[in-house]
Structure formats: structure tokens, C-alpha cells
Amino acid sequence: MDDSEKLRLLLVTKDFPPDVGGIQTWARELGRRFVARCDDFMVVAPKLPGSAEVDRELPFPVWRVRCTRPTFAGQVVLELPGFLKRRPFDTLLGAQWQTAMPGVIHRHRGPLKRVFTAVMGRELLTRHFSALPFGAQAYSRARKATLERVDGMFPISQYTQGLVEEIGVSTERSKVVLIGCDTERFLPVDAESLKRELGLHGHKVLLSVCRLVPRKGIDTVLEALPEIRRRVPNALYVVGGDGPDRARLEARAKELGVSENVRFLGHFPQARLTELYCACDVFVLAAREVRPDVEGFGLVLLEANACGKPAVATRSGGVADALADGETGLIVEPGSSLRLAEAVASILTDEQLAARFRARARPRVLEQATWDRVTSDLLAGMDGFSRGK
């Protein structure tokens, strides 16, 4: 972006550390790069317990708004005019349509000239205020009106771009920009120590890392495991993460007779997550679409690929943008444990196929999905929309 040095950018997000999640990571990693490429940069986020400790470690300032998360956008609407008088930002990027809305309302009042928004997915499917008379209709109208009035949209996948069209908004001013991966953190490392600790030696290891909720499809992998073990007798399924579905999943493993072949690790230390990826032979994400909770992208697939590991995933949400089918892994249609088993077993039993996926996995992430690439794509997109390109 030729004039990025002149850009005064405000990134507004209701999801930001110390909270943990994909949008929180997106905002933090972009912030670390925007601050070096803009004349002025700041994040606007809710004030949460632990915010001060987080903010001290960041290389950019954060304006913390006192509010509850549901009232965040409304509070920013009230406080933004006064703030812009003190610090004249000319461009606002919302992490969601709700956080772009204050910019749409106050654009051209004072220094703010341009407003953009990311599109993550779930925010286009929720129906807030449905308990109130005409509440859901009013919420939907506000969402549509905001998206129609921003200067440009950045969906994180072709799937989320489709959701924009689904609610009746033109994607003429839309550019898909993938979520990035921290390739300096996620990279091939020696995992022998962790394999010994977890007793993984002598096994072909399937791995899933996620919050244990029904949408993540861990039960589908469990149902595929008997067929996988028929073809690969030493297959072992390792599940990193915890959540409300854990008890049901452990009971389901017993019903299927595979409890001895599954390791539920519970909450796994983030500091050793790269080792965990590197300890597996194939990563598995069998997510299914349970609206409004959808897999807008599938960042774990990028992380596994960045560690040089092939992956198998079900075609759900934005997965097809995260995993290159036939290049860095395999994508199967959802709803069939047999198809999933066949895909996993093919990688575990065909070393030539697995080697081809491993060889392409990390280079593809480095080419298409680093945070530096995402930052450049967003800046170029903002510039292009502003110039009418």
C-alpha cells in the first residue's frame, strides 16, 4: 500500500486478549504488524479482568472501553466522536459488522473518512433480540444496513463471503483475506520428549485440537476409529482440549469399544502445542455446520500444516480455504464416518501420499497464509477500495 505510512488506523473489536479465540488472535497479530506500517494505530476493545497485564506486553496502544461485551458497540458509538477529536484517526477497521457500525455512524464527522469490516461468519448467523417483538428483524436490518454502507468487506473465507450474499448484501466491495498462521511459532520441531511422556511411540497418531463441543465432530472421529484400526491396528486418537462435551465423548468412546485407543488430554499447555502437532501423523478436523455456530475458517488446519503435518477435514464452513484438498491433506463430505476413516487410513498406510502432503504443507502456509501476508492483503484491499478498484 503506497500510502500506508499516512494511514491512521483504528481497529475495533469486541474480541481481544485476555480472552482467547480465533478472532482474538486475528486482532492481536494484525495489531503487531499494523503498528509498524501505519502512521498511527490503536486497538479499541472491551475492558476485561487482566486487560492491563495484556496491554503492557503489546507493542501498540489499546483503548479499553468500560462495558459489557453485548453493549460494546453501543458504547463505542457514544464515545467515538470525543475520542477522534483527541486523536484523529481517518480509517476504522471493525473485526465484526457490529464493531464497524460506530464508524459507519460517525464517518465524515471529523477526521474519520473510511470504514471497513472483516467478516468472520458467526456474526452473520446469530439472531439476537429474537425474544423481543420485532427484535430479530430490527437486528437483521441494522446488520444489512451496516454492511451496505462500509467502504469494503474482508471475509475470511469463500464460505463467509457466501454468507454475506445469503443475507442479501452485494459482495462487489468484498475481498476474501484468509486468517493467518504464526509460522515462527508453528514449525517442525523435535517431539520425541512429548511422545515419551504421552506414550505415543509405536502408534500411528491421529490428533484433534479444539474445544470439546458437538460442532467439532469429535464423535464422528470416534465412530470412524474402529474402521481406521481395522486398517491401521496401531492407530491411536489423541484429543487436545476440554469443554462441555467431554463426558459425552468419553461415554461414546466406551460404547464404541475404543476407549483404550483414545487419549483425552484435557486442557493442553499452549507453550507445548507445537510439540503436540509435531507428535501426530495426521491431524483431523471433522467439524459440522450447526448454525449459528460454524467453522468460519479452521485455523488449526493451518497450524498443523505449518508444522509439516497432513490433515483430514470435513467440508464445513471455510475449511476448504484453510486446507488445500489433495495438496496438503484431504477433505471429505460431512456426515460419514466411513469416508472419514478411508481418508485417514489412506494417509496412514500410503507413505508416498503422506510424504507428498508433508512436503507441500508448510510451503503452502508460508506462501499464502502468514500474518505478514494477511496484513499486506488487508492494506492493499483498503487502498484498492478507496481508489475504486
Find the mean pLDDT for residues 258-267.
Answer: 96
Residue 112: per-residue pLDDT: 95
pLDDT of 5 above 60? no
Quote the pLDDT of residue 225. Answer: 98
Domains 4-180+370-386 and 192-368 in one fold: yes
Q: pLDDT tens digit string along 352-365?
A: 999 999 999 999 99
User: What value does the mean pLDDT of the chain take?
Assistant: 92
- Of 174, 168, 139, the residue nearest 154 (C-alpha): 174
Quick check: 152 and 387 in contact, CB under 8 A? no
pLDDT in tens, 127-175: 655 555 556 788 889 999 999 999 999 999 998 999 999 999 999 999 9
Name the pLDDT band for 295 (thresholds 50, 70, 90).
confident
**pLDDT score for 359:** 98
Domain ranges of the chain: 4-180+370-386, 192-368
Instruction: Give residue 297's pLDDT.
Output: 82
Question: What percentage of the chain carries pLDDT values higher than 90?
Answer: 81
Residue 122: φ, ψ to 5°: -60, -35
How confident is the model over 201-244, as pLDDT tens digits? 999 999 999 989 998 999 999 999 999 999 999 999 999 999 99
Task: Find how far residue 335's CA is from the centre of its chain.
Answer: 22
**Residue 1 binned pLDDT confidence (cut-offs 50, 70, 90):** very low
Is 239 in a helix, a strand, or coil? strand
Phi, psi values for residue 154, rounded to 5°: -130, 80
CA 67/CA 72 separation, integer angstroms: 6
Q: Domain 4-180+370-386 is classified in which CATH homologous superfamily? A: Glycogen Phosphorylase B; (3.40.50.2000)
pLDDT at res. 316: 87
Confidence of residue 327 (pLDDT cuts 50, 70, 90): very high
DSSP at 11:
E
Bridge partners of residue 313, in order along the sequence = 285, 331
369 compared with 133, residue with greater pLDDT: 369
Contact 87/40 with Cβ under 8 angstroms?
Answer: yes
Query: 157: which 3 cell numbers?
Result: 473465507
- pLDDT computed for residue 2 by the predictor: 47
Q: Is the predicted pLDDT of residue 320 greater than 80, yes or no?
A: yes
3-state secondary structure of 42: strand
Cell of 210: 479444539
Question: What SS3 state is found at 41?
Answer: strand
CB of 195 within 8 A of CB of 320? no
| Least confident residue range of 14-23, 27-36, 39-48, 334-343 | 14-23
**DSSP label of 244:** T
DSSP letter for each residue of 277-340: HHT-SEEEE----BTTB--SS-HHHHHHHHTT--EEEES-TTHHHHS-BTTTEEEE-TT-HHHH
211: left (phi over 0), alpha (psi -120 to 50) or beta: beta
CA-to-CA distance for 188 and 204, rounded, in angstroms?
Answer: 18
**Cα(207)–Cα(159) distance, integer angstroms:** 25
- To the question of domain 192-368 being in CATH 3.40.50.2000, the answer is yes
- How far is Cα 259 from Cα 68, in angstroms, rounded to an integer? 42
Q: How far apart are CA 160 and CA 180, in angstroms?
A: 16
The answer to whether 281 and 316 are in contact (CB under 8 A) is no
4 falls in which pLDDT band (50, 70, 90)?
very low
3 band by pLDDT with thresholds 50, 70 and 90: very low
Q: For residue 167, give every residue at least 6 positions away whose Cβ sits within 8 Å of its Cβ, in sequence order, or none.
A: 124, 140, 143, 144, 147
